[in-house]
Amino acid sequence: MAPARPAPHLRAEKEVAEMAQGKIGIYLNPKRLKAFRASTVHAAPDSPDWVFISDDSMIGMVTIRQIAAERRLVDDPQKIEWIGRTDEPAES
């Protein structure tokens, strides 16, 4: 006998929760020229302003800038800097 599958509404809630947790890796905010390293799924940014650029959370800034240039995410990749938290206020 096959195992019972969860009801469709329960399955959908689980899938939504998994999507909301994001992925481990490197994210870039092209508008703010900031890169963020998410070392856990819970640290991954949930704002659409952040673009997931690599699942390798150990890449450095040189590689991040290369990826940003290749994907044409920013005009000047050399201006990209690290940010410690994705909820830091933008500089005025």
List pLDDT tens digits, range 5-49.
Answer: 554 444 444 443 333 348 999 999 999 999 999 999 989 998 999
Residue 55 maps to a domain: yes
Residue 28 maps to a domain: yes
Residue 9 maps to a domain: no
Residue 8 maps to a domain: no
Range of the domain at 50: 23-82
Residue 10 maps to a domain: no
Residue 71 maps to a domain: yes
> How many separate domains does the chain show?
1
What is the spatial order of strands in the sheet that 34-38 belongs to? 51-54, 25-29, 34-38, 81-82
Residue 91: predicted pLDDT: 67
